[in-house]
Structure 1
Amino acid sequence: MNQPPNPQTPPTSALPGCWWHPTRQTGLTCVRCGRPACPDCLREASVGAQCIDCVQAGRQQAQTQQRQYRSSGLGARTVAGAKLSNSLVVTPTLIALNIVVYAYTAFQAKSFTDNQTAKLFGDWVLWPRAVAGESEWWRLFTSGFLHYGPIHLAVNMFSLWILGRDMEVLLGKVRFAAVYVLALIGGGVSVFLLDDSNRATAGASGAIYGVLGGILVAVIRLRLNPAPAIGTIVLNLIISVSIPGISLLGHLGGLVVGALVTAAMVYAPTRNRAVWQSVAAVVVLVALVGLYFYRDSQLAGVTCQYLQGQLVCSPPTG
């Protein structure tokens, strides 16, 4: 076959230059904006590659959306509706308050082991006759921050630290504080309602048992193995019965109230969850107040007076 003396080579179209490096020809483009880009100006994405400008713009957009998402109250939450956070505030604050109160009573009593002789201890301890005779209802709450000596304090604060950390993360700060306070009051009301009217009781054990009861409810809600929590509760109840001087009624009252309030927190419907939880907490508080007034009416015959600076109360009549 004869060929033309000067065969013509078909013209090839020149590749576009990189948007950021115009002198570099490239056949690559950004999947987001479509602009030509050289390999140095592209970053691998989930689908294709994006240019450096689109990567930066996407990162800023994601950060803005995340801030808006969080500020609107949304985001990853626990079964109780609490935002995921590992920061602890309530648990260490409660421990610090208990330590400060103990240190003050030890200072007043001038003794680390006999701090129950301090004036503050006598004013705050849960003594049912004083609660009824002097209408000192606050003893139901303040007694939860008193402890008989350093060993009593150390055991309770160690237990609070171990149990409170997980519960605070699960429930959130406000919900955990509500469980703790209501369990503390529940233990106090239980003692006031059922215990000897002339027996003084103090300690954070009722509130700590409430946290323990809450852990059992949370474990069941999360469908985990409840055996360790049940075993811990049974063991502690056996200790409460075996060792003299421990308030079993206070422990049981705190345990029941803590479990009830936690159940309201973790089983509340997702819609209007905070409302349901608040209403449940108020209902429990109202029930405890009602029990307080019921017992107070039974001890209406108690009279108290100060003799030589000491509060003396008569036994109930009838």
Structure 2
Amino acid sequence: MERPHQVPPGYRYEWALFADWCAAAETVPLPASPETLAAFLDDNPAGDETLRRRVAAINRAHRNAGESEPGTVTAIRLRLDRARSHRVARRRIAAASIVPALPTIGWPAGLFGRRDALVLVLYALGLGPRDIAALDRRDIEACGDGLRIHGRHQLDTTELSEVDSGASARTWTLWQQVLDVADRSASTRVLEDLLRTGHVPVPYVGAAARRGPVVVPIDRWGAVPFPLTAMSAPSVAAVIAAHLNGTAPRHPTRPERVSRGGDARTAPPGTEHYEAPRLDHGYYDAGTAARRDAAVAMTEVDDIFDDIDIRTEQLLRCTMDLLETFQTL
């Protein structure tokens, strides 16, 4: 129901317009969902300044009533900022030419390809690096051929003509397979099998946690943190910039490992006959001498650390004395 006492005097006209529209649409104006606000803006077109004022009035009424502000979600902010909308549209065009070329199979190239593809899709939807780093898996939903971003964004790829909704949904599905496995196993071997074959092992199907980070860091060997932790915003920004600038590193697809019994599924070329390297007579003597020199050099380390501890204690004592002096002044 409408609460007129919650609306500042300067916003009464805008609020009355919204309340009347809600009454005609048989919905409540407060609290209103972002979807309700979006429908109101669609049914009542106006100039940018007028639209911003209407959204500001609705946000203010919700804030005064202690409700979440529907106009703060990313989808609404894009509607109100034409310049930003144009920038996001250019992002979609750029991402559309990059994402299809990224590998989804191969180790570890496919692992990086799947993650970076999702990062670019999210960026193309209007999310910034900080938004992407903060995303939770519960915020993303694949609906048919489309992809929806819930939470404080409320974005839907099916509403964007520049975005291939089917490709967006597939990108999320492929990365979700990685999360399914990484949630349950700290072994990179299981991830490697997934990326080589494209098939999720049966014990890991649908095993992803209900919550957790969406994009995670990957080291050069294809290892991800266990338990999973989110990439930092600067790292996400670096991934985006590298792809847009054409400077993204090319991650090689390594040959499959050879089992200890020598029965490899696919033996790397040239490794059928392995010849051990020949070591000169001074090899072991040089190693022993290096260890001896290191032991001698490290004998003074304990004394150095003891000296650091003593100086630290002295500085701490001086600091405490200064604080007590200022408190008595």
What TM-score do you get using the length of structure 1 for normalisation? 0.24
> Relative CO higher for 1 or 2, CA cutoff 8 Å, sep ≥ 6?
1
What TM-score do you get using the length of structure 2 for normalisation? 0.23
* Bigger Rg, structure 1 or 2: 1
